[in-house]
Amino acid sequence: MLVLLLALASSRTSFAGDVDDLVNTLKNDSSDKNRLSAALNLVRLGDGSPNVLLALSKALLNDSDKNVRGACAVALGKLVTSSTKSSIKGLVVSNLKQAVANDDSDVVKQQAQKALTAITGQAGTAPTAPTISSGGGKGGIYVNIGPMSSKAGGSNDAKLRALMVKVANQTLAKVAAKMQTTWPGGVPTKSVLAQKSVSGFYVDGTLNSLTSSVSGGSATITCKVSMLLADFPDKNMFGFLNGGASVQGAASPSEQALAGEDCVSAVIEDLIAKKIVPTICSKASCP
């Protein structure tokens, strides 16, 4: 099915659909088929605007259906051109590399690598966090994700905190699947972890700033995040990490809010995959 749909997507025939409606469907529709259709029709429209590319990039990493993720990879390979803004292109390339490295589907990995080659001429060989089968003793590793906090002071603070927790858990599941983020019966005590020979770690983060700069019909959203790493349950901190990113989108308040979510998600993913997990492995002797 995916092969057939991808072949259809190569056609640039006109399509009467509205780009905003297709983007909304890709982001929010509960039907896998509808989201897949939206991704394919965005390719047919040939619209490489920041709003479209950001939506496809986000769905590439987060959509639950492998066919939708594969179609998004194909779409990005076709819609990113030499005229694409460098900041948007950089985000697309980063997400494609993550898909090549971490997606569960070989088809998605292949399509993401093809898109990378089309955009940059380079194969998708992004560095990955260490593969973990066990560690920190016979029982492995338990990571307790904190509630996260925000100093941005906006009306979306609560939503952004929940997003940070969600993305941290999702990223750990992708790059370090053997690390436990839940525990039967609730949060384990120090003695329980010791009995099971499990090393415990605590990860929390703070959104320090989220700013927007509007120029004409577009906006640049910049975010800065710090994350701490400590042992668990004592929470003796031994790592403090900082990250930041900028994302471009449309100037409307709703699109600025979505771009802010993309920005925060990208920083959390990067810090977890490239700094938090390797640091945990250095402490817990992950293989």
Confidence of residue 13 (pLDDT cuts 50, 70, 90): very low
Cis preceding linkage at 287, omega within 30: no
Ramachandran class of 37: left when φ > 0, alpha when ψ lies in -120 to 50, beta otherwise: alpha
Angle at 173 between CA 170 and CA 177, to 5 degrees: 175
Residue 287 is predicted with a pLDDT of 56
Q: Which residue ranges form the domains of the chain, and what is each CATH number?
A: 2-120 (1.25.10.10), 140-284 (3.40.50.10610)
How many other C-beta atoms lie within 10 A of the C-beta of residue 149?
Answer: 16
Contact 259, 247 (CB under 8 A): yes
User: What's the pLDDT at 122?
Assistant: 57
* Residues 270, 241: Cα–Cα separation, whole Å: 11
74-96 pLDDT, tens digit each: 999 999 998 898 888 889 998 89
Distance (Å, whole) CA 186 – CA 116: 42
What pLDDT is recorded for position 86?
A: 86
Residue 56 has pLDDT above 50, yes or no: yes
Alpha helices in the chain (DSSP H): 2-9, 19-28, 32-45, 50-62, 66-79, 86-102, 106-120, 157-175, 190-195, 253-271, 277-284
> 56 near 42, Cβ under 8 Å?
yes
**Residue 120 vs residue 210, higher pLDDT:** 210
- Residue 126 binned pLDDT confidence (cut-offs 50, 70, 90): very low
Residue 6's nearest CA partner among 59, 66, 54 is 66
Q: Among positive and negative, which fits the CA dihedral 265, 266, 271, 274?
A: positive
